[in-house]
Amino acid sequence: MRVSLCQMAVGRSKEANISKAVNMIIDAAKRGSKLAVLPECFNCPYGTKYFKEYSEELSVGNPTFDAISKVAKENKIWVIAGSIPEKSDGKLFNSSMIFDSEGNLQHVHRKIHLFRINTDTVKMDEGEVLSAGNEATPVSMGNGIKFGVAICFDIRYPLLAWKYASEGTSFLVYPGAFNMVTGPLHWELTARARAVDNQQFVLMCSPARDTEAEYIAWGHSMIVDPLGNVLATADEKETYVDAELDLSMIEKTRKQIPIMSGVRHDAYSLKWN
Amino acid sequence: MRVSLCQMAVGRSKEANISKAVNMIIDAAKRGSKLAVLPECFNCPYGTKYFKEYSEELSVGNPTFDAISKVAKENKIWVIAGSIPEKSDGKLFNSSMIFDSEGNLQHVHRKIHLFRINTDTVKMDEGEVLSAGNEATPVSMGNGIKFGVAICFDIRYPLLAWKYASEGTSFLVYPGAFNMVTGPLHWELTARARAVDNQQFVLMCSPARDTEAEYIAWGHSMIVDPLGNVLATADEKETYVDAELDLSMIEKTRKQIPIMSGVRHDAYSLKWN
């Protein structure tokens, strides 16, 4: 199954951002991809001061929902719509919409682990304006294929990936926007770690780097295979990262190095409330 | 706190193996180390056909226990005695003895996740002869310092490291013997992943590589800091890997990138039976 990560440049114009996303999804479909992934915060500059202004409800009649649903349907392609600031009941969430190839919203993942950082060069606390989600739910694509979606800082938490794997996912998708501190330190490492721990593919989709932005994204969108090898990656500029996911590799990897069947379900378990 | 990994060559003579371990611990103490780590299976060639013959009970009067207890006491050094095949109630375990600097056995970790592999070049199933342990227990060194010990394939399981971290450990120690397939693929990756996921130091101690052995160890013993940087490592030959662990780095790292305080204890929990 061919997949495309759309490492798009995100600017100040919400309309232009949505239009860019739509065009990149159309191009992904033309190249034969069955699934396109957009980055975290693809309709909005990444920053707490922007989230309210750019937020929308995730339902028909709202511009981001309508545009992505339409392009998914018209191009018969699944779309993991990175994330946008979601407005719901007077709260804001950092949320990813997952549309199937008929344009139906199959799932919303609300970022569970809100991002905080406090270094000399980067400071940010999403919790100042965002509320956190509480749920992990694998999405079924048909033909027995399931995947899990989580957002950026969520990748720091191996128990969330573990939860998805225990539900039978074949790949994990993380729209994310690591920065110039955590990007070089941990972007590839965590992607490869989640892939190897759970013996499945991992897709990480970043915005392109905008050095004029307050928060500068690392880029380097990446697709990792179940052995932890980087199948495809990018530099920091606006581009695609495409790969063919050979899902049979999962079973083969698990037979060779039986991590998954060695889980000691009798000794410990993960409880999701 | 200075620590030493003793990447020792393990041969067919149990007596020579124990003697080598003792000498390497004495040297570690002379260099000022407060803790010495031995590799997995340091008194016995690594292989299911050897485990019974080389096994011992982990108590006074048995040669490995007595030798390591004595050298720890005489040199006032903590010793994580990698692992040996443990005989207990007619069963065999792959077990690590942890001695304090007075030579007292503080803890035994029995490998929880028995190793299996089935590739073209490496085949092994510890479960053919070994029983598995069921418990994780952090060890207190005094001065508020705790650490966790797990063995080789145990590092594949992020929930075990998570359990230790949740008990307040400052470092995780994995005596291990990755091979020529999994070594280049995953040895450094999993070490760095467990360090970054749990924001603490990780110590991995391998036997030196013996290309005449049926099972050829990767070597590359390694000490990783809480940011995932490799502080010290080795090639494949018999040698030491020493490092100074600056434990204040843990708190600093956790303030800068607050992974640990961001755990959603309200949403999920790990239950140890």
B180-218 pLDDT, tens digit per residue, is 999 999 999 999 999 999 999 999 999 999 999 989 999
Establish if B268 belongs to a structural domain. Answer: no
Of A162, A182, A270, the CB nearest to B257: A182
Q: In this complex, is the C-beta atom of B127 within 8 Å of any C-beta atom belonging to chain A?
A: no
Establish if A271 belongs to a structural domain. Answer: no
Of B117, B158, B257, the CB nearest to A197: B158
For residue A271, indicate whether it is catalytic: no
Q: In this complex, is the C-beta atom of A122 within 8 Å of any C-beta atom belonging to chain B?
A: no
Establish if B141 belongs to a structural domain. Answer: yes
Catalytic residue among A146, A152, A163, A188: A152
The pLDDT value recorded for residue A273 is 80
Establish if A91 belongs to a structural domain. Answer: yes
Q: In this complex, is the C-beta atom of B265 within 8 Å of any C-beta atom belonging to chain A?
A: no
Interface A–B counts its CB contacts (< 8 A) at 132
Establish if A64 belongs to a structural domain. Answer: yes
Catalytic residue among B6, B20, B40, B41: B40
pLDDT in tens, A145-189: 999 999 999 999 999 999 999 999 999 999 999 999 999 999 999
According to DSSP, residue A168 is labeled T
Q: How many helices (H) does chain B have, and how many strands (E)?
A: 7, 15
Establish if A222 belongs to a structural domain. Answer: yes
DSSP three-state, residue A162: helix
What mean pLDDT is predicted for residues B111-118? 97
pLDDT in tens, A66-112: 999 999 999 999 999 999 999 999 999 999 999 999 999 999 999 99
Å between A9 CA and nearest CA of chain B = 26
Establish if B221 belongs to a structural domain. Answer: yes
In this prediction the pTM is: 0.97
Q: In this complex, is the C-beta atom of B197 within 8 Å of any C-beta atom belonging to chain A?
A: yes
Establish if B134 belongs to a structural domain. Answer: yes
Query: Does the structure's ipTM exceed the value 0.95?
Result: yes
Phi, psi angle pair for A33, to nearest 5°: -75, 145
State the burial class of residue A27 (Cβ atoms within 10 Å of its Cβ: 0-12, 13-18, 19+): middle
**B93 falls in which pLDDT band (50, 70, 90)?**
very high
The pLDDT value recorded for residue A229 is 98
Q: In this complex, is the C-beta atom of A36 within 8 Å of any C-beta atom belonging to chain B?
A: no
CATH assignment at residue B135? 3.60.110.10
According to DSSP, residue B183 is labeled I
Indicate if the pLDDT at residue B148 is higher than 90: yes
Report chain A's C-alpha Rg in angstroms.
17
Residue B61, domain extent? 2-256
Number of domains in chain B: 1
